Amino acid sequence: MRKKTYLNLIEYQTEQSRQHLAEVQGIYREMRGYKHDFHHHLQALKGQLEAGETKRALAYLEQLDQQLMDVDTLLKTGNVALDAILSAKISQAKALGIAVTVKANVPGTLLLSDLELGIIVGNLLENAIEACQCAQGQRFLRLFLGMKGKMLYFSMLNSAGAKASKKGKLFSSRKMGLHGFGLRRAESILEAHGGWCKYNSEDGAFTSEFLVPAVE
């Protein structure tokens, strides 16, 4: 039984790492594509301005500005591993029409490993994105991540559907399989490091918090 649990954990961690890598690679492909096209955009704008087509050039700039807003999702929190996780998930959320607000400032090195950080933050964000998709009206996700002394503090508020019911310590999810296992794994990592997490569900909103020792 213990061996089976261990193998499930290895499988889960491998899948999480593969998923996060694929998401981050997608973001960088978008950015490389934008950089590749930049010269062509400049040539088009130059031609329009030389021809005196000012309104057309302004409209072109508006389109470029919107594209740049869609692509420029890479965050700089101070921690490279966290940058990758948050950037990938936020890009996913925005693609689904979720209004995202993030404030994050974290040391470059933490007591949590990059894999542990990915499991914890990745799962909480996946839950938030899932909940937003069930929300009526505006979809939003507001996240804060920073230091309280030597402790790493995470707080997130996101839109949701009807108030969720609890299954043990966790709230029920519409997803099956490794999703529930991932939440339990995230909670066990926090507890192993002397931290805690808590959740609250109300009609239309869901909150997630955790606090964990992060630096010596």
Give me the CATH topology for the region 74-216. Answer: Heat Shock Protein 90 (3.30.565)
SS3 of residue 150 by DSSP: coil
- Would the pLDDT of 214 be above 80? yes
Out of 35-44, 96-105, 194-203, pick the least confident: 35-44
Q: What strands lie across the sheet with 140-148, from one edge to the other? A: 99-104, 140-148, 151-159, 205-213, 196-202
Q: What is the pLDDT of residue 57?
A: 87
pTM above 0.85, yes or no: no
- State the pLDDT confidence band at 31, using cuts at 50, 70 and 90: low
Joined together, the tokens standing for residue 200 give: 């609250």
| Region(s) of the chain under CATH 3.30.565.10 | 74-216
